Amino acid sequence: MNFQMKIIFILIITILFLQSCSDESSKNVENFDKLMKIRCGEGHKISLFSDGKLFFDGKYPLLDKDIPTDLTDLFPSQVLEFSTNREHSCFITTEGELYCIGGNSFGELAQEPSNGVNRPIKIELPMKVIAVSVGENFSCAVVSDKTVYCWGKNSSGELGNGKTADDYPSTQKAFEFQPQKVLNITNAIKIQSGRAHTCALLENGFISCWGSNFYREISESQNTDKIATPLLLIEYPNISDISLGGNSTCFLKNSSILKCIGKNFNSTTAINIDISSLNFIKRFSVSEKYGCATTNLDKLYCWGDNQNEVFNAPQILHKEIVEVEYPHKILELSAAPDKLCIRDKK
Protein backbone atom coordinates (compact mmCIF):
# COMPACT_ATOMS: atom_id res chain seq x y z
CA MET A 1 0.00 0.00 0.00
CA ASN A 2 1.44 3.35 -1.03
CA PHE A 3 0.84 6.34 1.23
CA GLN A 4 1.99 9.89 0.73
CA MET A 5 2.06 10.06 4.47
CA LYS A 6 2.43 7.22 6.95
CA ILE A 7 2.20 7.91 10.66
CA ILE A 8 2.71 5.32 13.34
CA PHE A 9 1.25 6.05 16.71
CA ILE A 10 -0.10 4.32 19.78
CA LEU A 11 -3.79 4.34 20.66
CA ILE A 12 -4.75 5.87 23.98
CA ILE A 13 -4.92 3.29 26.73
CA THR A 14 -8.38 4.39 27.81
CA ILE A 15 -10.16 3.16 24.70
CA LEU A 16 -11.64 0.09 26.41
CA PHE A 17 -10.45 -2.98 28.26
CA LEU A 18 -6.95 -3.16 26.90
CA GLN A 19 -4.45 -4.07 29.61
CA SER A 20 -6.19 -2.52 32.60
CA CYS A 21 -9.31 -0.50 33.32
CA SER A 22 -10.34 1.74 36.18
CA ASP A 23 -14.02 2.12 35.30
CA GLU A 24 -16.86 0.54 37.30
CA SER A 25 -17.37 -2.43 34.98
CA SER A 26 -13.78 -3.57 35.44
CA LYS A 27 -14.32 -3.66 39.20
CA ASN A 28 -17.25 -6.03 38.78
CA VAL A 29 -15.74 -8.39 36.20
CA GLU A 30 -12.64 -10.44 36.89
CA ASN A 31 -12.15 -12.20 33.55
CA PHE A 32 -11.95 -9.86 30.57
CA ASP A 33 -11.55 -12.88 28.30
CA LYS A 34 -15.33 -13.13 28.60
CA LEU A 35 -15.83 -9.78 26.88
CA MET A 36 -17.98 -10.63 23.87
CA LYS A 37 -19.25 -7.35 22.38
CA ILE A 38 -18.64 -3.62 22.79
CA ARG A 39 -20.50 -0.59 21.50
CA CYS A 40 -19.45 3.00 22.13
CA GLY A 41 -21.42 6.23 21.91
CA GLU A 42 -20.52 9.80 22.77
CA GLY A 43 -19.82 9.93 26.50
CA HIS A 44 -20.46 6.24 27.18
CA LYS A 45 -19.69 2.63 26.32
CA ILE A 46 -21.59 -0.63 26.74
CA SER A 47 -19.99 -4.05 27.15
CA LEU A 48 -21.55 -7.50 26.95
CA PHE A 49 -19.85 -10.58 28.40
CA SER A 50 -20.32 -14.23 27.47
CA ASP A 51 -21.74 -15.01 30.91
CA GLY A 52 -24.60 -12.57 30.22
CA LYS A 53 -23.25 -9.63 32.22
CA LEU A 54 -24.05 -6.25 30.66
CA PHE A 55 -22.36 -3.03 31.82
CA PHE A 56 -22.91 0.64 31.04
CA ASP A 57 -20.11 3.17 31.63
CA GLY A 58 -20.61 6.92 31.28
CA LYS A 59 -23.82 8.83 30.63
CA TYR A 60 -26.06 10.21 27.93
CA PRO A 61 -25.13 13.92 27.59
CA LEU A 62 -28.69 15.30 27.74
CA LEU A 63 -30.36 12.80 30.07
CA ASP A 64 -30.76 14.17 33.61
CA LYS A 65 -30.86 10.67 35.13
CA ASP A 66 -27.97 8.34 35.91
CA ILE A 67 -27.89 5.00 34.12
CA PRO A 68 -27.12 1.98 36.35
CA THR A 69 -23.64 0.56 35.82
CA ASP A 70 -24.83 -3.06 35.87
CA LEU A 71 -27.76 -3.47 33.47
CA THR A 72 -27.84 -7.27 33.60
CA ASP A 73 -30.83 -7.81 35.88
CA LEU A 74 -32.93 -5.06 34.32
CA PHE A 75 -33.88 -7.35 31.44
CA PRO A 76 -36.20 -10.40 31.71
CA SER A 77 -33.77 -12.49 29.65
CA GLN A 78 -30.16 -12.24 28.48
CA VAL A 79 -29.17 -9.53 25.99
CA LEU A 80 -27.75 -10.84 22.70
CA GLU A 81 -27.20 -7.68 20.64
CA PHE A 82 -27.46 -3.94 21.06
CA SER A 83 -26.90 -0.57 19.43
CA THR A 84 -26.10 2.82 20.94
CA ASN A 85 -25.88 6.43 19.82
CA ARG A 86 -25.45 9.78 21.57
CA GLU A 87 -28.64 9.81 23.62
CA HIS A 88 -30.17 6.32 23.70
CA SER A 89 -29.55 2.60 23.27
CA CYS A 90 -31.62 -0.45 22.28
CA PHE A 91 -31.10 -4.11 23.19
CA ILE A 92 -32.30 -7.44 21.74
CA THR A 93 -32.85 -10.30 24.19
CA THR A 94 -32.71 -14.07 23.69
CA GLU A 95 -36.51 -14.02 23.43
CA GLY A 96 -36.33 -11.69 20.43
CA GLU A 97 -37.75 -8.79 22.41
CA LEU A 98 -36.47 -5.23 22.08
CA TYR A 99 -35.82 -2.85 24.97
CA CYS A 100 -34.57 0.75 24.83
CA ILE A 101 -33.17 3.20 27.37
CA GLY A 102 -32.06 6.85 27.44
CA GLY A 103 -33.37 10.04 25.84
CA ASN A 104 -36.80 10.32 24.26
CA SER A 105 -37.01 13.84 22.83
CA PHE A 106 -38.62 12.66 19.58
CA GLY A 107 -40.23 9.38 20.65
CA GLU A 108 -37.14 7.26 19.94
CA LEU A 109 -38.18 4.98 22.86
CA ALA A 110 -41.55 4.38 21.15
CA GLN A 111 -43.33 6.55 23.70
CA GLU A 112 -44.72 10.06 23.60
CA PRO A 113 -41.73 12.47 23.69
CA SER A 114 -40.36 12.96 27.19
CA ASN A 115 -37.13 13.58 29.07
CA GLY A 116 -36.27 9.90 28.77
CA VAL A 117 -35.83 6.97 31.15
CA ASN A 118 -32.91 5.32 32.95
CA ARG A 119 -34.45 1.85 32.92
CA PRO A 120 -35.07 -0.24 29.77
CA ILE A 121 -38.61 -0.22 28.42
CA LYS A 122 -40.04 -2.81 26.03
CA ILE A 123 -40.76 -1.79 22.44
CA GLU A 124 -43.89 -3.39 21.04
CA LEU A 125 -43.24 -4.80 17.56
CA PRO A 126 -45.30 -7.33 15.55
CA MET A 127 -42.59 -10.02 15.47
CA LYS A 128 -39.34 -11.04 17.09
CA VAL A 129 -36.41 -8.71 16.49
CA ILE A 130 -33.25 -9.97 14.75
CA ALA A 131 -31.28 -6.71 14.29
CA VAL A 132 -31.34 -3.17 15.68
CA SER A 133 -29.71 0.20 15.02
CA VAL A 134 -30.24 3.61 16.60
CA GLY A 135 -29.57 7.02 15.08
CA GLU A 136 -29.34 10.38 16.78
CA ASN A 137 -33.06 10.66 17.65
CA PHE A 138 -34.63 7.57 16.08
CA SER A 139 -34.51 3.79 16.26
CA CYS A 140 -34.85 1.01 13.66
CA ALA A 141 -35.24 -2.75 13.96
CA VAL A 142 -35.32 -5.72 11.59
CA VAL A 143 -37.96 -8.28 12.56
CA SER A 144 -38.12 -11.99 11.83
CA ASP A 145 -39.77 -11.68 8.40
CA LYS A 146 -36.85 -9.38 7.41
CA THR A 147 -38.95 -6.24 7.19
CA VAL A 148 -37.90 -3.08 9.03
CA TYR A 149 -39.66 -0.79 11.52
CA CYS A 150 -38.46 2.66 12.61
CA TRP A 151 -39.72 5.26 15.08
CA GLY A 152 -38.67 8.66 16.46
CA LYS A 153 -37.55 11.80 14.63
CA ASN A 154 -38.58 12.03 10.99
CA SER A 155 -37.57 15.48 9.73
CA SER A 156 -35.30 14.07 6.99
CA GLY A 157 -37.14 10.83 6.28
CA GLU A 158 -35.37 8.86 9.01
CA LEU A 159 -38.31 6.47 9.36
CA GLY A 160 -38.48 5.42 5.71
CA ASN A 161 -42.26 5.77 5.65
CA GLY A 162 -42.42 8.26 2.79
CA LYS A 163 -42.64 11.34 5.03
CA THR A 164 -40.32 14.20 5.96
CA ALA A 165 -40.81 17.43 7.94
CA ASP A 166 -42.64 18.84 4.90
CA ASP A 167 -45.49 16.39 5.56
CA TYR A 168 -46.15 17.54 9.13
CA PRO A 169 -47.95 20.71 10.28
CA SER A 170 -45.56 23.62 10.74
CA THR A 171 -46.51 23.79 14.41
CA GLN A 172 -45.70 20.13 15.03
CA LYS A 173 -42.36 18.38 15.44
CA ALA A 174 -41.70 15.76 12.77
CA PHE A 175 -41.75 12.46 14.66
CA GLU A 176 -43.65 9.20 15.08
CA PHE A 177 -43.44 7.43 18.42
CA GLN A 178 -45.35 4.41 17.12
CA PRO A 179 -43.13 2.08 15.03
CA GLN A 180 -43.52 2.70 11.30
CA LYS A 181 -43.02 -0.06 8.74
CA VAL A 182 -40.26 0.99 6.35
CA LEU A 183 -41.44 0.93 2.75
CA ASN A 184 -40.19 -1.60 0.19
CA ILE A 185 -37.85 -3.57 2.49
CA THR A 186 -38.58 -7.31 2.66
CA ASN A 187 -35.17 -9.01 2.81
CA ALA A 188 -33.00 -7.12 5.31
CA ILE A 189 -30.32 -9.02 7.24
CA LYS A 190 -28.45 -6.12 8.86
CA ILE A 191 -29.14 -2.48 9.61
CA GLN A 192 -26.94 0.52 10.44
CA SER A 193 -27.81 4.15 11.23
CA GLY A 194 -25.90 7.41 11.07
CA ARG A 195 -26.93 10.78 12.45
CA ALA A 196 -30.10 11.00 10.34
CA HIS A 197 -29.93 8.18 7.78
CA THR A 198 -30.12 4.39 7.76
CA CYS A 199 -29.03 1.61 5.41
CA ALA A 200 -30.22 -1.98 5.36
CA LEU A 201 -27.97 -4.73 4.00
CA LEU A 202 -30.15 -7.06 1.93
CA GLU A 203 -29.92 -10.80 1.33
CA ASN A 204 -28.97 -10.23 -2.32
CA GLY A 205 -25.86 -8.22 -1.43
CA PHE A 206 -27.30 -4.78 -2.18
CA ILE A 207 -28.03 -2.00 0.27
CA SER A 208 -31.15 0.14 0.54
CA CYS A 209 -30.94 3.49 2.35
CA TRP A 210 -33.23 6.30 3.51
CA GLY A 211 -33.11 9.55 5.47
CA SER A 212 -30.80 12.56 5.14
CA ASN A 213 -28.86 12.94 1.90
CA PHE A 214 -27.65 16.47 2.62
CA TYR A 215 -24.00 15.43 2.29
CA ARG A 216 -24.83 12.75 -0.30
CA GLU A 217 -24.37 10.13 2.37
CA ILE A 218 -26.94 7.95 0.61
CA SER A 219 -26.44 8.71 -3.07
CA GLU A 220 -24.05 10.95 -4.93
CA SER A 221 -26.34 10.94 -7.96
CA GLN A 222 -29.60 11.92 -6.24
CA ASN A 223 -30.09 15.69 -6.31
CA THR A 224 -32.12 15.83 -3.11
CA ASP A 225 -31.32 16.40 0.56
CA LYS A 226 -33.98 14.03 1.91
CA ILE A 227 -34.86 10.49 0.85
CA ALA A 228 -38.09 9.46 2.58
CA THR A 229 -38.60 6.17 0.70
CA PRO A 230 -35.74 3.63 0.74
CA LEU A 231 -33.44 3.89 -2.26
CA LEU A 232 -31.85 0.70 -3.61
CA LEU A 233 -28.22 1.48 -4.46
CA ILE A 234 -27.95 -0.70 -7.56
CA GLU A 235 -24.58 0.84 -8.42
CA TYR A 236 -23.02 -0.98 -5.46
CA PRO A 237 -23.48 -4.78 -5.72
CA ASN A 238 -21.84 -7.55 -3.71
CA ILE A 239 -21.86 -5.71 -0.38
CA SER A 240 -20.92 -7.86 2.61
CA ASP A 241 -20.90 -5.33 5.47
CA ILE A 242 -21.82 -1.72 6.26
CA SER A 243 -21.02 0.95 8.85
CA LEU A 244 -22.60 4.41 9.13
CA GLY A 245 -21.26 7.32 11.11
CA GLY A 246 -22.57 10.85 11.35
CA ASN A 247 -23.13 11.93 7.76
CA SER A 248 -21.17 9.19 6.01
CA THR A 249 -21.75 5.66 4.75
CA CYS A 250 -19.08 2.98 4.34
CA PHE A 251 -19.54 -0.47 2.89
CA LEU A 252 -17.39 -3.47 2.08
CA LYS A 253 -17.48 -4.69 -1.51
CA ASN A 254 -16.60 -8.23 -2.56
CA SER A 255 -15.62 -8.94 1.07
CA SER A 256 -12.40 -6.93 0.72
CA ILE A 257 -12.73 -3.43 -0.80
CA LEU A 258 -13.92 -0.55 1.38
CA LYS A 259 -15.82 2.38 -0.14
CA CYS A 260 -17.15 5.44 1.69
CA ILE A 261 -19.51 8.20 0.55
CA GLY A 262 -20.83 11.28 2.33
CA LYS A 263 -19.19 14.02 4.36
CA ASN A 264 -15.61 12.73 4.31
CA PHE A 265 -15.35 12.66 8.09
CA ASN A 266 -14.88 16.37 8.79
CA SER A 267 -17.42 18.90 10.00
CA THR A 268 -16.01 21.99 8.32
CA THR A 269 -13.80 20.99 5.41
CA ALA A 270 -14.70 18.97 2.34
CA ILE A 271 -11.78 16.63 1.67
CA ASN A 272 -11.20 13.56 -0.44
CA ILE A 273 -9.74 10.59 1.40
CA ASP A 274 -8.92 7.72 -0.94
CA ILE A 275 -10.40 4.86 1.07
CA SER A 276 -10.37 2.65 -2.04
CA SER A 277 -6.64 2.04 -1.55
CA LEU A 278 -7.47 0.09 1.61
CA ASN A 279 -8.10 -3.51 0.54
CA PHE A 280 -8.53 -6.91 2.19
CA ILE A 281 -10.57 -5.49 5.06
CA LYS A 282 -11.66 -7.75 7.93
CA ARG A 283 -13.61 -5.23 10.04
CA PHE A 284 -14.27 -1.49 10.09
CA SER A 285 -16.19 1.19 11.98
CA VAL A 286 -16.84 4.86 11.26
CA SER A 287 -17.96 7.74 13.44
CA GLU A 288 -18.85 11.40 12.96
CA LYS A 289 -15.41 12.54 11.80
CA TYR A 290 -13.13 9.52 11.41
CA GLY A 291 -12.99 5.84 10.54
CA CYS A 292 -10.79 2.83 11.32
CA ALA A 293 -10.34 -0.60 9.75
CA THR A 294 -8.29 -3.76 10.14
CA THR A 295 -6.90 -5.84 7.29
CA ASN A 296 -6.37 -9.56 6.79
CA LEU A 297 -2.82 -9.01 8.05
CA ASP A 298 -4.28 -7.69 11.35
CA LYS A 299 -2.97 -4.19 10.75
CA LEU A 300 -5.02 -1.22 11.98
CA TYR A 301 -5.54 1.88 9.82
CA CYS A 302 -7.45 5.10 10.56
CA TRP A 303 -8.32 8.30 8.70
CA GLY A 304 -10.13 11.59 9.20
CA ASP A 305 -10.41 14.30 11.85
CA ASN A 306 -8.42 13.75 15.06
CA GLN A 307 -9.49 16.89 16.95
CA ASN A 308 -10.56 14.75 19.94
CA GLU A 309 -7.16 12.99 19.92
CA VAL A 310 -8.83 9.64 19.55
CA PHE A 311 -5.55 8.35 18.15
CA ASN A 312 -3.32 10.15 20.68
CA ALA A 313 -1.68 11.92 17.76
CA PRO A 314 -1.42 15.62 16.79
CA GLN A 315 -4.80 17.31 16.45
CA ILE A 316 -4.78 17.37 12.68
CA LEU A 317 -6.90 16.23 9.80
CA HIS A 318 -5.42 13.02 8.43
CA LYS A 319 -6.09 13.39 4.72
CA GLU A 320 -4.41 10.06 4.08
CA ILE A 321 -4.94 6.68 5.65
CA VAL A 322 -2.51 6.24 8.53
CA GLU A 323 -1.25 3.04 10.11
CA VAL A 324 -1.82 2.66 13.84
CA GLU A 325 0.51 0.48 15.87
CA TYR A 326 -1.48 -1.86 18.11
CA PRO A 327 0.04 -4.68 20.20
CA HIS A 328 -2.79 -7.25 20.12
CA LYS A 329 -5.06 -9.03 17.65
CA ILE A 330 -8.20 -6.93 17.16
CA LEU A 331 -11.55 -8.73 17.28
CA GLU A 332 -13.94 -5.78 17.17
CA LEU A 333 -13.96 -2.01 16.52
CA SER A 334 -16.53 0.52 17.69
CA ALA A 335 -15.96 4.15 16.70
CA ALA A 336 -17.61 6.96 18.67
CA PRO A 337 -17.07 10.73 18.32
CA ASP A 338 -14.90 10.92 21.45
CA LYS A 339 -13.29 7.48 21.57
CA LEU A 340 -12.35 4.35 19.65
CA CYS A 341 -13.28 1.15 21.50
CA ILE A 342 -11.47 -2.09 20.75
CA ARG A 343 -12.08 -5.67 21.80
CA ASP A 344 -8.86 -7.59 21.42
CA LYS A 345 -7.15 -10.92 22.02
CA LYS A 346 -3.84 -10.76 23.82
The confidence band for 288, taking pLDDT boundaries of 50, 70 and 90, is confident
Average model confidence (pLDDT) for the chain? 86
Percent of the chain topping pLDDT 90:
66
Q: What's the start-to-end Cα distance of the chain, in Å?
A: 26
Residues 256-265 have a mean pLDDT of 81
Residues 85-98 have a mean pLDDT of 97
Query: Which uninterrupted H or E stretch holds 283?
Result: strand 281-286
CATH of domain 75-263: 2.130.10.30
Top-ranked range on mean pLDDT: pick from 57-61, 287-291, 309-313: 57-61
Q: What is the pLDDT of residue 153?
A: 98
Q: In sequence order, what E strands does 6-158 have?
A: 35-41, 44-49, 54-58, 79-84, 88-93, 98-104, 114-123, 129-134, 138-143, 148-153
- Residue 238 pLDDT greater than 70, yes or no: yes
Phi–psi pair at 174, nearest 5 degrees: -85, 100
- Residue 15 pLDDT greater than 60, yes or no: no
Q: What is the pLDDT of residue 270?
A: 38
The confidence band for 10, taking pLDDT boundaries of 50, 70 and 90, is very low
Q: What's the full length of the chain, in residues?
A: 346
Query: Which uninterrupted H or E stretch holds 290?
Result: strand 290-295
Q: What is the pLDDT of residue 323?
A: 85
Say if residues 137 and 127 touch (Cβ distance below 8 Å). no
The structural domains of the chain, with segments of one domain joined by +, span: 75-263
Percent of the chain topping pLDDT 70:
83
Q: What is the pLDDT of residue 14?
A: 34
- Residue 241 pLDDT greater than 70, yes or no: yes
Residues 301-305 have a mean pLDDT of 83
The confidence band for 102, taking pLDDT boundaries of 50, 70 and 90, is very high
- Residue 93 pLDDT greater than 50, yes or no: yes
What is the pTM for the complete model shown?
0.89
Q: What is the pLDDT of residue 317?
A: 59
